[in-house]
């Protein structure tokens, strides 16, 4: 049966057949890895040549080696009163505090949208208002409301993370087959039991995907949030370095942010594989 | 002994979302299922077979008529009527044992006891060694057996079987028919089976109910004793070769066939 489904309708894998295109894709992404590495090497080589032959002034584009030295230097001696580790820790703490807050609010809100007409009626306009807004637009307002301290930074990042988590939770709730809830009802489950034992576990793959998207949104908001009255953080470090035209540290900061985002993405994917191995088999 | 009763039950669905017009899906269905009976419902697609089961399960509310268990109206779905689904509806985040134990968990049975009873039920369906397996590691036939064990775990008075063998290959299907028959005779629960297969209906059921479409209504309700013969150990081929079997098979085929010509 799986062979039939595979040959007749390869575009719509269902059930166990879903594993098939996944392995195909895994092969494909393995196939692009050498090309991607070559691309990165070419960019670094071009960058080296551009700075070595003075095509671009080192003030604007320091050489890769200078940037590496800058990373090392910031890691050991620090920049604007903090080491690279301290800047990174400050940023990560903000990101994860915001993540915790947006998960704590977003998952119940998403469940309410996905399961209840009243919940959807109340929360839909709020989410749809918030979702397209650039965080920079409401940052000043948040500062007026709750000041320039840590709370306002975390709030802004959390607000940016909230819509993807709410929407992915609601989508996860709706994607559950009706038979899942019907089965539980026919075994005598009450509303709360269905929510906790059927709807929530069924939505977790979607929630994890939403969390990954939220982390992306969080990082892009981080730099903006750290522009205002911060004394530590990767965004603050970049901003300070730019004011003194220390371009190597600006680039170093960008590379560190990219590397951390990359690592978080890998971590999120590993969590997905550990916690919801069944998601690949739906 | 319990009886699940549908009395003059009709069901109408709205034709589309905005209109007030409705389409009659089932009309004047009266059916009594006693807890020692096995009723098979057959009929063409669109005759409302699955709607009938969804009404009995309590997933749908009848437009008119009464559905009751021992004279008491059913308010909705309940643990006295466990459903086995065509697409198994097993929870992929639970392993086979925890799926079977799920109805017990809902009732607050302690973990040790749940494991023990789930183990027993898995043994009963011949899957004692598959308890720790993930759902996606099981074949279609094994999944349906887990689904049946899960339904039995809620100790229902009635098993509602919504084409549970419909998606299986012929060989597995034949094996599971025999298995279903054994489970029914041992568990002493009433069974309501929805099926496309005349043969399956005849071999399993004590009564075969035929639904005709547009609107769905009962056109025949015929007793059958082949399942009991099979349980008594009579060889399958001998049963199929018997004149009574052929006569009923021809009769039922005729009923469904006539009906499709009428519709065309």
- Whether chain B has a CB inside 8 Å of the CB on A198: the answer is yes
How many whole angstroms separate alpha carbon A5 and alpha carbon B168? Answer: 14
Examine the domain organization and report whether A201 and A274 are in the same domain. yes
State residue A106's pLDDT score: 96
**Does the pLDDT of residue A7 top 70, yes or no?**
no
Contacts of A198 in chain B (CB under 8 A): 91
**Interchain CB distance below 8 Å, A188 and B154:** yes
Provide the total of helices (H) and of strands (E) in chain A, helices listed first.
12, 0
Distance from CA of B208 to the nearest CA of A (A): 24
Examine the domain organization and report whether A180 and A272 are in the same domain. yes
Could you read off the pLDDT of B125-143 as tens digits, one per residue?
A: 889 899 999 999 999 999 9
Please, which pLDDT band fits residue A282 given cuts at 50, 70 and 90? low
Q: Which of A163, A32, A59 is nearest to A106 (CA)?
A: A163
**Interchain CB distance below 8 Å, B154 and A187:** yes
Examine the domain organization and report whether A132 and A184 are in the same domain. yes
The two tokens of residue A80 are 């604007």
Q: Give the bridge partners for B191, in sequence order.
A: B38, B159
Examine the domain organization and report whether A49 and A71 are in the same domain. no
How many whole angstroms separate alpha carbon B175 and alpha carbon A36? Answer: 53
Examine the domain organization and report whether A269 and A165 are in the same domain. yes
Examine the domain organization and report whether A229 and A259 are in the same domain. yes
Query: Which chain A residue's Cα is nearest to B151?
Result: A187
Q: Choose the closest CB to B92 out of A189, A197, A278.
A: A278
**Interchain CB distance below 8 Å, A186 and B134:** no
| Sheet order of strands, B217-223 included | B81-84, B158-162, B190-194, B38-43, B207-212, B217-223
Compute, in degrees rounded to 10, the torsion defined by CA atoms A242, A248, A252, A255.
Answer: 90
Residue ranges of domains in chain B, CATH in brackets: 3-80+156-263 (3.40.50.300)
Could you read off the pLDDT of B6-31 as tens digits, one per residue?
A: 999 999 988 877 777 888 999 999 99
Examine the domain organization and report whether A17 and A111 are in the same domain. no
Pairing between β-strand B38-43 and β-strand B22-34 as defined by DSSP bridges: unpaired
Examine the domain organization and report whether A142 and A221 are in the same domain. yes
Examine the domain organization and report whether A148 and A215 are in the same domain. yes
Q: Which residues of chain B have pLDDT under 50?
A: 262-264
Examine the domain organization and report whether A140 and A235 are in the same domain. yes
State residue B170's pLDDT score: 87
Strands, DSSP E only, in chain B?
3-14, 22-34, 38-43, 64-69, 72-73, 81-84, 158-162, 190-194, 207-212, 217-223
Q: Which of A111, A93, A129 is nearest to A210 (CA)?
A: A111
């Amino acid at each position: 049966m799986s062979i039939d489904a595979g040959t007749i309708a390869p575009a719509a894998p269902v059930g166990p057949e879903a594993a098939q295109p996944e392995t195909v894709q895994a092969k494909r992404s393995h196939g692009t890895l050498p090309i991607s590495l070559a691309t990165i090497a070419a960019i670094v080589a071009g960058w080296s040549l551009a700075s070595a032959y003075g095509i671009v002034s080192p003030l604007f584009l320091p050489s890769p080696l200078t940037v590496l030295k800058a990373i090392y230097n910031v890691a050991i001696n620090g920049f604007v009163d903090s080491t690279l580790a301290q800047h990174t820790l400050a940023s990560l703490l903000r990101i994860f505090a915001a993540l915790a807050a947006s998960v704590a609010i977003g998952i119940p809100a998403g469940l309410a949208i996905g399961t209840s007409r009243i919940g959807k009626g109340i929360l839909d306009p709020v989410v749809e208002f918030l979702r397209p807004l650039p965080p920079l637009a409401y940052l000043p307002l948040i500062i007026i409301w709750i000041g320039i301290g840590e709370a306002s930074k975390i709030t802004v990042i959390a607000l940016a993370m909230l819509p993807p988590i709410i929407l992915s939770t609601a989508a996860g709730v709706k994607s559950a087959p009706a038979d899942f809830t019907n089965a539980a009802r026919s075994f005598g489950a009450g509303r709360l039991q269905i929510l906790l034992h059927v709807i929530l576990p069924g939505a977790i793959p979607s929630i994890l995907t939403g969390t990954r998207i939220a982390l992306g949104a969080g990082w892009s908001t981080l730099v903006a949030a750290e522009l205002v009255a911060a004394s530590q953080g990767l965004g603050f470090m970049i901003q300070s370095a730019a004011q003194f035209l220390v371009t190597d540290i600006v680039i170093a900061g960008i590379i560190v942010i990219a590397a951390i985002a990359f690592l978080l993405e890998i971590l999120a994917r590993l969590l997905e594989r550990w916690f919801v191995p069944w998601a690949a088999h739906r | 002994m319990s009886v699940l009763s549908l009395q003059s039950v009709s069901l109408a669905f709205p034709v589309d979302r905005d209109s007030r017009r409705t389409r009659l899906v089932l009309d004047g269905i009266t059916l009594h299922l006693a807890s020692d009976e096995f009723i098979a419902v057959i009929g063409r697609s669109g005759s409302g077979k699955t709607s009938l089961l969804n009404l009995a399960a309590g997933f749908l509310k009848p437009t008119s008529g009464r559905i009751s268990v021992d004279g008491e109206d059913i308010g909705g779905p309940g643990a006295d009527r466990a459903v086995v689904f065509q697409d198994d509806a097993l929870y992929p985040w639970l392993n086979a044992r925890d799926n079977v134990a799920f109805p017990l968990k809902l009732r607050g049975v302690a973990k040790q006891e749940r494991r023990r009873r789930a183990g027993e039920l898995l043994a009963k369906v011949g899957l004692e060694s598959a308890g720790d397996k993930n759902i996606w590691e099981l074949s279609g036939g094994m999944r349906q057996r887990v689904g049946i064990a899960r339904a039995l775990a809620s100790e229902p008075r009635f098993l509602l079987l919504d084409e549970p063998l419909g998606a299986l290959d012929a060989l597995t299907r034949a094996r599971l028919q025999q298995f279903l028959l054994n489970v029914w005779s041992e568990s002493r629960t009433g069974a309501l089976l929805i099926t496309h297969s005349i043969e399956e209906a005849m071999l399993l059921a004590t009564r075969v109910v035929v639904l005709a479409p547009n609107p769905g209504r009962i056109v025949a309700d015929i007793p059958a004793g082949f399942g009991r013969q099979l349980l008594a150990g009579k060889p399958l081929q001998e049963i199929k070769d018997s004149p009574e079997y052929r006569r009923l098979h021809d009769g039922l085929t005729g009923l469904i066939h006539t009906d499709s010509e009428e519709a065309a």
